[in-house]
Structure 1
Amino acid sequence: MVKAYFQPRALVLMYHRVTDSSQDVWDISVRPDLFEQQLQLLQEDYQVLPLPELVARADKNSLKRKSIALTFDDGYLDNFLVAKPLLEKYGLPATFFIAGGQAEAEKGFWWDELEDLVLGSQNLPARFSMAVAGAKVEIELDKESFLTGSLQQKLSQWKAVGQEPETQRGKLFLQLWQLLRPLPYVEQQDYLARLREWAGAHNISKPAHGRMSQTQLQDLARHPLFKLGGHTVSHPLLSSLSKARQYQELAENQEVLQDLTGSPVQACSFPYGAYNSDSLAVAQSLGYTAAFTTQEKSISRQTNPFQLGRVQVPNLSKQAFGQFLSYPR
């Protein structure tokens, strides 16, 4: 036990977006200038390894001191337009876990559209009443039906992780998100269509939530610094699906990425960090050599290669980021 405690450990960092977003309800965006500061620190003080090398070194108990790997989830366009040039500038490798299949490649993510509809619409009906996934959701928006400057500021400062919503719009958003998250993709899209009708499509104030194109993904995959990883077809809550559906989600996504790039896809990450024993078995059966969660824990030889933890990176300056990385995990 003591020996295991002193084994070399590494961190895998998790990013989602690199953008200066005025609305970041899940706290998953890092401003480009702060992202560059973080890369400067990593280049100066850490051993930033390609993800496959870090996993292999952990297995062999040969991790270098202060080893780190960088990952990005989902496949947002800003990863290509903003993060990629900065990673190239500092010569740092990264793995991009890409969600999508044949049909979903050109569509945005459901949670971004939900955020735009509920939190970003300039005008909404004064009352919301709809049956969603077997639950009756009823909320009076009253004065919040119009997005005033002060309300917009409140919403932009609210983080759904760890903060109870103080606005009616925030309460509505969180209720709908919780109900939609475990649903199959088709049902999510059906409810979004009903929400669009309720909100009025012309009222949507939509920020840039674009995803990388096939050409951009191919460009990433050809780059010696970068790897692509699997992240399912429709970004479902895997733990709510049957084993057969989990297999379909992971297998189609892997096949699409491999066909697109002509290279094997050997690592995946579980959407929302949610998984069960079926998820682990399916990932292994597909030939993945590593699977990643969102559990904030370091990696060592003792870590199950299909339950590898990652640390979500906040929007921090260089100095604050250094302190953040020094926390024991």
Structure 2
Amino acid sequence: MKIPFSIRLLQPLATFASGLGKRKKLLIMIYHRVLDKPDFMRPGEVDKVAFTWHMQLLAKHFNVLPLADALDRMQNDTLPSRAVCITFDDGYADNYNNALPILQQFNLTATFFIANGFLNGGRMWNDTVIEAIRNFPGSVLDLTEIGLGQFDMISENQKGQAANKIIGQIKHLPIETRNQYTAYIAAQSQNLPDDLMMTSEQLKKLYQSGMEIGGHTVNHPILAKLDDEIANQEILQNKLFLEQLLSISLRFFAYPNGKPDSDFLRQHKQMVRENGYQAAVSTHWGVATKSTDQLQLPRFTPWDKTPLKFMIRIFSKYN
């Protein structure tokens, strides 16, 4: 697999930055998918080539730790400089097919947060929207009946923009309403995939390969939109299912969507603790320190497209 040549030019930057990160900070990185190749419908996701150079740089210039080890070492003041953890959310099949071999290539581990309601042929609502628009056979998608307007579908760029806008419009609707809108959009299209998420067997093999598995609710709802009893069941039933499937005790949880005080609230942190989790991660951008709330750990999405910008952005987090 061809890696960008500019990686070989990064050693001076790494040498210059070797003095950074002496303070005990932990950068937890978020990924969702590792695609076979770039996808105009998913511009924010990495493909195998990009993920390979991401991991190559992390392995060479940073101290990549399992999440459990990193949190333990942060608390006992033995966290190394430039400490990094790698995490994945949701449970996509390409985590097993694409991400796992690359992680193993560089002898790295990651934590995979799984929404078990989509295993074995399921599809998350946002993926239904994306794939319905990708496969829409016409030139204009008319959603005026559900109050979302009309969208031109002639070019790839128009399809990508439409999916992004529609997802933003319905993301925070009540779950039943959002599901109704999603089903309406799906009915306008054809040939929706049923292999986007891992199977139970793939998840078992992922765990057996040495990767950490964490909880992510059953159906990936925005917890702040749920009654407390339903929210607690989403957290608890997800944990029980994964623990029984893998014969383990889950230690870590990721809040769906993950924005503090918007997607999850104080009571959801309490639910996570009461359901036996050691720590939980959000999507609030930042780095963690010993004083960070262990039930609201920040993470960071590596969206830079070139190795140089990728490295500069990450090194800047340790200042």
Q: What is the TM-score of this pair, normalised by structure 2?
A: 0.84
* Aligned-residue offset at 1:191: 3.1
Residue 104 of structure 2 is aligned to residue 88 of structure 1: yes
SS in 2 for 1:272: coil
Q: What does residue 222 of structure 1 align with? A: 208
The correspondence for 1:64, drawn from 77, 80, 90, is: 80
* Aligned-residue offset at 1:10: 1.2
Q: What does residue 279 of structure 2 align with? A: 290
Q: Runs in 1 of length 4+ with deviation above 6 angstroms?
A: none
Separation of aligned partners in 2, 1:66 and 1:87: 18
Structure 1 segment 13-92 matched on structure 2, within 5 A: 13-19=29-35, 20-25=37-42, 27-92=43-108
State the structure with bigger RCO (CA 8 A, min sep 6), 1 or 2: 1
Deviations 1:225-278 (A, max 9, x none): x11000011110111112211110011111111011001111010011121011
Unmatched runs of 5 consecutive residues or more in structure 2 = 1-20
Separation of aligned partners in 2, 1:40 and 1:138: 43
Q: What does residue 165 of structure 1 align with? A: none
SS in 2 for 1:44: helix
Q: What does residue 251 of structure 1 align with? A: 236
Separation of aligned partners in 2, 1:68 and 1:8: 11
The correspondence for 2:199, drawn from 213, 216, 238, is: 213
* Aligned-residue offset at 1:120: 4.3
Separation of aligned partners in 2, 1:230 and 1:207: 24
Structure 1 pair 298/119, CA: closer, same or farther in 2 (3 Å)? Answer: same
* Aligned-residue offset at 1:111: 0.3
* Aligned-residue offset at 1:38: 1.0
C-alpha contact (below 8 Å) 2:128/2:186 kept by paired residues: no
Report the AA paired with residue 240 of structure 1: K
Structure 1 pair 130/278, CA: closer, same or farther in 2 (3 Å)? Answer: farther
58-67 or 173-182: which moved more?
173-182
Deviations 1:185-212 (A, max 9, x none): x554433332233x1x43x5x5786101
Report the AA paired with residue 40 of structure 2: Q
C-alpha contact (below 8 Å) 2:115/2:216 kept by paired residues: yes
Structure 1 segment 164-243 matched on structure 2, within 5 A: 169=162, 174-175=165-166, 177-184=168-175, 187-197=177-187, 199=188, 201-202=189-190, 206=192, 210-224=196-210, 226-243=211-228
Report the AA paired with residue 54 of structure 1: A
C-alpha contact (below 8 Å) 2:215/2:254 kept by paired residues: yes
Q: What does residue 305 of structure 1 align with? A: 294
Unmatched runs of 5 consecutive residues or more in structure 1 = 132-136, 159-168
* Aligned-residue offset at 1:223: 1.9
Q: What does residue 327 of structure 1 align with? A: 316
The correspondence for 1:128, drawn from 143, 148, 162, is: 143
Report the AA paired with residue 287 of structure 2: S
Deviations 1:19-60 (A, max 9, x none): 1242345x4411211111111111111110001111111222
* Aligned-residue offset at 1:70: 0.3
Report the AA paired with residue 90 of structure 2: D
Structure 1 pair 34/280, CA: closer, same or farther in 2 (3 Å)? Answer: same
Q: What is the TM-score of this pair, normalised by structure 1?
A: 0.81
* Aligned-residue offset at 1:175: 4.3
Separation of aligned partners in 1, 2:93 and 2:252: 21
Aligned residues: 293
CA RMSD of aligned residues (A): 2.4
Residue 100 of structure 2 is aligned to residue 115 of structure 1: no
Separation of aligned partners in 1, 2:270 and 2:115: 20
Separation of aligned partners in 2, 1:72 and 1:176: 21
Structure 1 pair 6/242, CA: closer, same or farther in 2 (3 Å)? Answer: farther
Report the AA paired with residue 16 of structure 1: H
Structure 1 pair 278/126, CA: closer, same or farther in 2 (3 Å)? Answer: closer
Separation of aligned partners in 2, 1:79 and 1:176: 23
